[in-house]
Amino acid sequence: MPQWLTAPANQVVVSGDPLREEYEIGANATAAKMLPGRVVILDDADGTVKECGAKADGVIGFLDVAPGKLEATNYAVGEQAMVVKGRCMAKLTLLAAENVTRGDKLVTAADGKLAKQAVGAMGGQGSVVATAEQSSNVTVDAEIIVDWNPGHEPAAAS
């Protein structure tokens, strides 16, 4: 029995019993980017989602693996998708060339991926959505285990 978290095959949730809700992949989503483990935000129509961009606020959750499909299978526009919304340990995609250490705070990057939170002014960094549970420093996108626990970014002073 492993003494630490082990990344599962063909699953995104590593441990925990998070809240999940079904959404539709929205008309503005890029189907090729709608993969399990990618972070999503609301699309234009009620009940629809699309991939989030860099430093996003208003994150809904991340896509789960569809029953009977592989983790590498993307969702099509208009397809039903399960979105993981609650706190859990999850295997998510870290942006290429991000140098993260266990405990680093993560925000969203382009295409629903994650990146290390940069130092910057409040209101311009995006919401912290997870904490790295594994270190990574590779030149390609990497799947790492994170503590998924989305927060809210404070507003910038005006």
Give the residue extent of every domain in the chain: 17-86, 89-148
pLDDT, residue 119, reads 75
Interval 115-143 mean pLDDT: 87
Nearest 5°: the CA angle 93, 98, 99 is 120
Query: What are the pLDDT digits (tens) for 9-46?
Result: 899 999 999 999 999 999 999 999 999 999 999 999 99
The model's pTM: 0.91
Q: What CATH number labels 17-86? A: 2.40.340
pLDDT, residue 122, reads 64
Mean pLDDT, the chain, integer: 91
> CA nearest 108: which of 49, 46, 51?
51
Beta bridge partners of 106: 116, 130
Is it the case that residue 157 has pLDDT exceeding 70? no
**Out of 22-31, 43-52, 104-113, 124-133, least confident range:** 124-133
